[in-house]
Amino acid sequence: MKTVPTLLTTSTEEFIEQIELFQKYFDRIQIDIADGNLVPNVTTQISEIYDLLLHKEIHIKEETVFDFHLMVQNFSPELEQIVKIQELNVRVNIVLINAEHKINIGYLNNTYTFSIGLDIFPNTHIDNIARHYDLDLIPAVQIMTVNPGFQGSPFLPQMLQKIQQLRAQNYKGEILIDGGVNNMTIPTINSQQYPPDIICIGSYLTKSEEDLESRVNLLKKLE
């Protein structure tokens, strides 16, 4: 399993601090974007990140690549903002859109140079995903293992069953889990017959304070 830190920030100052910090340890970072509609939280917006980049208030290493997790009701403007960020020579790997939007994923993946994947909330069933989507067209699926919106929400171990359900549907793409992943829940994740490819980790890293390096080293041993 590969570890990807997840940044859920509510101010540009917090975003600057975390983006500088986590580039020291990771070359892939996920950025959570919430609009207060799809989930009950409002984060640093992509337009704000663009302005920070444009005015060189943050430095992005050449090897750093970003995922964007769009917890928003209207994702189309956000995709265009991500295109603008790409134009500043920032590498974008994948953008995750909530599966309940019933998006035309084939069209979107043909339209943008970054990949479009699905984000699955706890109340979304894999059978419904398989009925609506051609799984062969989806490069990545992220399973939320908490009720999304805020870092530090309790881990929902039953959501791990969705990994097996996806593989039973012959899904061959990348599977990520996001939410509540820490030293206490990783043994449960590791014990699954079908572990995820990527574990996205938020508060276990962002709130670690003085022992961040030891936590990073622990996670690296899992890869």
| Three-state DSSP state, 142 | strand
Question: How many Cβ atoms are within 10 Å of 172's Cβ, its own excluded?
Answer: 12
| Best CA proximity match to 194, nearest among 211, 209, 178, 175 | 175
The tokens for 103 are: 């998006």
For residue 164, is pLDDT > 80?
A: yes
For residue 149, is pLDDT > 80?
A: no
Percent with pLDDT over 90 in the chain: 83
Listed in sequence order, the residues at least 6 apart from 15 whose beta carbon sits closer than 8 Å to its beta carbon are 7, 9, 44, 48, 49, 52, 58
Q: What is the pLDDT of residue 148?
A: 85
219 or 46: which leads in pLDDT: 46
Domains and CATH numbers, the chain: 2-220 (3.20.20.70)
For residue 81, is pLDDT > 80?
A: yes
Q: What is the pLDDT of residue 222?
A: 76
Q: What is the pLDDT of residue 146?
A: 94
Q: What are 88-118's pLDDT values in tens digits?
A: 999 999 999 999 999 999 999 999 999 999 9
Q: What are 188-221's pLDDT values in tens digits?
A: 999 999 999 999 998 898 887 668 888 888 888 7
